[in-house]
Every structure is written in C-alpha cells, then in structure tokens.
Amino acid sequence: MERFFDALGLFIRYQLRADDWVSYLVFVVVSGFVGLSIVLLDLCSVVLEQNSFLGLTHGRKATPKAALVWMLGAMLGGFLGLLSRVFEPTPLAAVLVSLTWRTLLAKLKDLSVHPVQQPGKE
C-alpha cells in the first residue's frame, strides 16, 4: 500500500514513470475516479439546468449504471493507452482518457466499417 501512495505522489507531481505495475495501477485508478467524477458532474448539470452535456439519461437506476460503465471504460481505456504507450502516466492524460474514451470507440467503429465494393465498380 505504501508503494501505491508513493507512486500516487509522483503521479500528482508529473514524475511517475510507467516502469512497473504500481504505475499502471495508479493511472488506471485515477482514470476511473476521474470518469466517475465526470458522470457526477453531468448529473449536477442535469439537476441544475435539465441538460446533460454527455447525453446521458439520469435516474435512480440509470445514473449508477452510467457511472459504473463510464468508470470502467475510462479505466480500460487508460490501461490500454498506457500499455500501448499512447499515454504517459500524468494527471492530464488521465483526464483526457476519461473524457474521450467513448468518442475514440465511436471513431474506431467508423473506421472499421467499410462499404462493400462490387468487382469492376468504383
């Protein structure tokens, strides 16, 4: 547990290096926390202005489900991004992956869908 908090201190100071499993754990946990915070911020927006900036539906069952899915998406996106060296383990990267994982999945889906071409036709 001490290693985790030491790594968290380095992470907050932008000095964490992705060289051991504790670095990955810190980045993934913070990404999940930021993802959860984003959904709660969206809930506050709905309560105050009746407008969800994420396009989420909020309610007794919908909000916990959205929070769990958003948190897991941010954690998985952060882990895969750090593993593939797309991200460095910094607070800014954790915020960015938590905000953009859903958009990135949509863009990857669009890229993977190719229209079927008929032979001899352009």
pLDDT in tens, 48-61: 998 999 899 999 99
Reply yes or no on whether the pLDDT at 120 is more than 70: no
CA angle 12, 53, 41 (to 5 degrees): 45
User: What is the Cα–Cα distance from 43 to 26, expressed in whole angstroms?
Assistant: 26
Q: Which residue spans within 25-97 are E strands per DSSP?
A: none
CB atoms within 10 A of CB 5: 11
Predicted TM-score (pTM) of the model is: 0.83
pLDDT tens for each residue of 57-81:
999 999 999 999 999 999 999 999 9
